[in-house]
Amino acid sequence: MRPGLGQHTQLKQELKINPRLYQAMDLLYMPLLDLQNHLKQELLNNPFLDMVEDEEEDEVDGDAAQQEEQNPETEAEKEEKGEIDWEEILLDGFDAGGRREEHEEREYYEPVTVDSRDLADHLRDQVTLLDLNGRQMYLAEEFIGNINEDGYLACGLDKIVEGVNESVQKVIEESERDVSDLVPYTISEAEDMLGVIQSLDPPGVGARDLRECLMLQLREAGLEHSVPFRLVRDCFDELIAHRWSEISKRFGISPADVQRAADEIAKLDPKPGLVYSDASDNYIIPDLIVDKIDGKYHVFLNDANLPRLKLSKAYQEIARDKKKFDGENKEFISNKLNSANWMIQAIEQRRQTMLKVMNYIVERQREFFEKGVQFLKPLTLREVAEVISMHESTVSRVTNEKFVQTPRGVLPLKFFFSSGLSTTDGEDVSARGIKAQIQKLVADEDSKHPLTDQAIVNILKESGVQIARRTVAKYRDQLGVLSARMRKRV
């Protein structure tokens, strides 16, 4: 085969997405707060965009314009009042003087969140109050650095000693003075320091596993000689498995006493460090509102605080005189004007698409709004897409990370979409509705005789729902409900 260069022709089809189509898809995907920030940024970047004011403000502006026609002012008078010469700004490439330059010189400070204290800070504050020498403080800092946000020690003592000794060795090698007093740390020192760390607040911090965490909390509460402490220390595996009979025989107490001790253990905190975690509050602002008015459900967009865009009249009037513009100015004006028009249309298209999707959801799920989650019907993205004549991916973007305020609470739009199960009368029921029924059956059961998965299958079958036992077990696991044996009370 001889290497060389050659030319050939080929026909093929390609799908190239316009950059503005990407932006339109991003607008559909954005939640309300993200969209609000995006539009504010567009208002700053595009001079052809302006905000729609209230009707009262528009009337005032109209009266002021009429008065200006009757009493024209000179350019000097306008400058004295600080008004901006829009034509000069546009023609000079937005390099006009006056108030605009003063505005640009103002320093802008980015708002930042206030730093909050976490578990490590809380532990350091306590360690500094202890009577520890420099060597112990250095080891304590190594321990604190290896405690995760749940409050558990994330590595073994040997790893901590190994890590701190590497630092000590590095100091010895780099130091020019006599450091013969620096000796490696031992496991014994680490064990002593572990006891110090585990004595700090919150109780249970510094534990290496759940069993040790519970024992530390019981010891802190003065229950070291109690039945709950003995259960955690001597038969933790049986306790987790709810083997009340085995434990009662082993300790010579009744199963009821074992269960009462287990109830006391269940009140302890399995993740004590989360009390000091840096978890900020997440507030949800619904994108849509569903309200019942005169017996009918109406859908509204919650966009009162969203900037409503319009084309700037001042710039439109200047742009009409095309004789004044050529070259870069003309291209700039054309691009910005087209971008402004497209942005206004894209926002309106987003509003209409969201309303279409939510109106169909309300129509389809009316029984849910009237009677509750058990009457939720199965619904898919494809079904909605076919009804509103849009692509399934478009509906997915509209419903992603969006919330709706309804008479039954604030819900994510994804809540209304779930698979379905058949019933004996030929209708379908939502899997989410079946989960709600299972949860209610478990909540209302006799704790001494809890319902097995097969018993739940039989009860649902009587109500017309055809479901397999393994499906009930899967839904129960998703709900975090234990098996019948684990739920049984004595």
What is the per-residue pLDDT across 63-74, written as a single tens digit (0 to 9) for each?
544 544 555 544
Give the residue with greater pLDDT, 421 vs 252.
252
Extract the tokens encoding 394.
Answer: 């478009």
AA letter at 252: G
Highest mean predicted confidence (pLDDT) among 188-197, 323-332, 397-406: 188-197
The pLDDT value recorded for residue 88 is 45
> Distance (Å, rounded) from C-alpha 223 to C-alpha 233?
12
> Distance (Å, rounded) from C-alpha 140 to C-alpha 185?
12
Other residues' Cβ atoms within 10 Å of the Cβ of residue 432: 21
| Torsion angle of C-alpha atoms 307, 313, 315, 316, degrees rounded to 10 | 120
State the average pLDDT over residues 378-403: 87
What does pLDDT average to over the chain?
79
Question: CATH code for 419-490?
Answer: 1.10.10.60
AA letter at 158: D
The pLDDT value recorded for residue 103 is 37
pLDDT digits (tens, 9 = 90+) for 130-185: 999 988 998 999 999 999 999 999 999 999 999 888 887 887 777 666 555 678 88
| pLDDT category of residue 47 using cuts at 50, 70 and 90 | confident
| Torsion angle of C-alpha atoms 420, 422, 423, 425, degrees rounded to 10 | 110
301 phi and psi angles, rounded to 5 deg: -90, 135
Which of these ranges, 22-26, 82-86, 126-130, 177-181, has the smallest mean pLDDT? Answer: 82-86
Give the residue with greater pLDDT, 22 vs 130.
130
The pLDDT value recorded for residue 396 is 86
Does residue 301 contact residue 402 with C-beta atoms inside 8 Å? Answer: no
Q: With CA atoms as reference, report the closest residue to 399 among 375, 422, 383, 377.
A: 383
The structural domains of the chain, with segments of one domain joined by +, span: 20-56+285-417, 119-200, 204-277, 419-490
The pLDDT value recorded for residue 126 is 94
Other residues' Cβ atoms within 10 Å of the Cβ of residue 67: 9
The pLDDT value recorded for residue 104 is 40
Strand partners for 380: none
Q: With CA atoms as reference, report the closest residue to 189 among 124, 138, 127.
A: 138
Extract the tokens encoding 176.
Answer: 């020019």
Extract the tokens encoding 487.
Answer: 């739920």
Q: With CA atoms as reference, report the closest residue to 205 among 116, 118, 115.
A: 118
CA 420-424-427 angle, 5° bins: 45
71 phi and psi angles, rounded to 5 deg: -125, 75
State the average pLDDT over residues 264-274: 93
> Distance (Å, rounded) from C-alpha 28 to C-alpha 148?
38
Does residue 49 contact residue 42 with C-beta atoms inside 8 Å? Answer: yes
Q: Does residue 97 carry a pLDDT above 50?
A: no
Please state the pTM of the whole predicted model. 0.61
Other residues' Cβ atoms within 10 Å of the Cβ of residue 479: 12
Q: Parallel, antiparallel, or unpaired for β 403-406 and 288-293?
A: parallel
